[in-house]
Every structure is written in structure tokens, then in C-alpha cells.
Amino acid sequence: MKRLEGKIAVVTGGGTRGIGRATAARLVAEGAHVFITGRRKTELDEAVEAIGPGVRAVPGDITDPADLDRLYDTVRDHGQGLDILFANAATASFATIEQITEEELDRIFGVNVKGTLFTVQKALPLLNHGASVILNASTTLDRGTSAFGAYAASKAAVRSFARTWANELKGRGIRVNAISPGPIDTSGVTELVGEENSAAFKASEGARVAMGRVGRPEEVAATVAFLASADSSYIMGSNLYVDGGENQI
């Protein structure tokens, strides 16, 4: 029997070629039925085609409460509740304290903080006893990376959510944990720095990591699958680093 056989999962940001899609594929391979959501229908369709049976796409934006309601109405109609929630969707940009605008700050916190909060809040009625909620934080919350202050602050809030929500939901047997990926080779990184700078940026980031390379989305997905499973039954409120030793050595 597969480790997640019969489990129902939701992965936000599941269409992009990165952590979300890799995690959806891993959860399906482990036996789960996975609902993915994201703003780009084309990418969601590509993810469904790539992953195959066991995944269903529900287009939507986590900053739009109506889209979240539609997502969870679809899960509810499936009739088995929800066992795994990976709140993965996020956004980022580079801006120093002198450069950051109110609009950009609102956008980053709107997706990474507000969007994450309501992604979990609106899932609460569906979460089964013993469910696992995994939040996507970041190693940047521990470092003073120049021009990444707003993003890092938003991820520090996500890390704090994991502690608070773990305490609030423990009575229902729900475990809440966070992961903090280091530099990972995703399409989001390319969008952030530009296609022409992508290779050099990843090489530079990899050189800082103890293992000497950037990570693969599948390596993060394996950690999420572990936290989603009974193998992590005594882990709650934690933040697991998936960073090649970047923040540990």
C-alpha cells in the first residue's frame, strides 16, 4: 500500500514548473488524489497532462476569497474531506528599502501572508482529523539578503503562522509545519531575475550552498510528502530546511 493511499490533498501554486507541480506529482505517486490551483490555466492544464490520473486543476487566485471558496467547494463535492494542504503559492521581487513601493509591498504581503492565511482558514471545515498542513516559508527569513526585505518579512510571518496554527489546531489532531527551501531551480527564479540572468544567478546561488548546487523541486517535494505522511507523526510546529546546508553549516 502506498504511503498516502486514499488521501485527499490540495496544492496551491500547483501549475508552475517548480515546487508546486513537483509536489503534486509526488503526492499522486504516493497514492493521494490531488487538487491543484493557480492563476494560469495553461500551466495548470500542462501540469494535469504531465502528472496524469489522480490530479485535478481548479484555476484561481489565493488572494481572491471567491476563488478559494470555489476551490474548496470542488474538494467538498469530492466527498472525502481534506487530509493534506500544501500552502505553496507565493510571489517575490527585488527592492531595497529605498525602492519598495506601497503597491509592491501590498502585493507581496497580499499573496504570501493574507493569501496563505485565508488558504488555510477556508480549508478548516474540510480538514479531517489527523490532517497535515504544510506552509512554504523560505531560508531568506533567516538572512539579511539585500533587496529581499519585503519577501523575507512575509516569509517570517508564514513561519510564525506555523507555530500559532499548530497550537490552535492540535485539539483536532491537525499538524501544521513549515518548510524553508533554499535556492531551488524553478521557473519562478527565472521569472524573478530574467531569462538572460538565470544561469548566472543559479550558479552564484549554488556556490553559496554547502552542497555546491541549487536544489531540485523534487527534493522539496519529497520533504512535503514526508510531512504529509504518518512518518512525521511526531513533528508539529516545526520548520524543516531544504537548503543543501545553506543555513546550517
Active site positions, annotated: 151
Residues 6+ apart with CB under 8 A from 154: 90, 108, 109, 112, 113
Cβ atoms of 46 and 15 within 8 Å: the answer is yes
Q: Which of 176, 184, 173, 190 is nearest to 220 (CA)?
A: 184
Cβ atoms of 175 and 133 within 8 Å: the answer is yes
For residue 143, the number of C-alpha atoms closer than 13 Å in the C-beta half-sphere is: 16
Q: Which of 108, 91, 80, 79 is nearest to 12 (CA)?
A: 91
Q: Which of 131, 138, 40 is nearest to 86 (CA)?
A: 131
Cβ atoms of 96 and 149 within 8 Å: the answer is yes
Residues 6+ apart with CB under 8 A from 95: 101, 104, 147, 149, 150
Cα–Cα distance, 199 to 210 (Å, whole number)? 19
Residues 6+ apart with CB under 8 A from 169: 124, 127, 133, 176
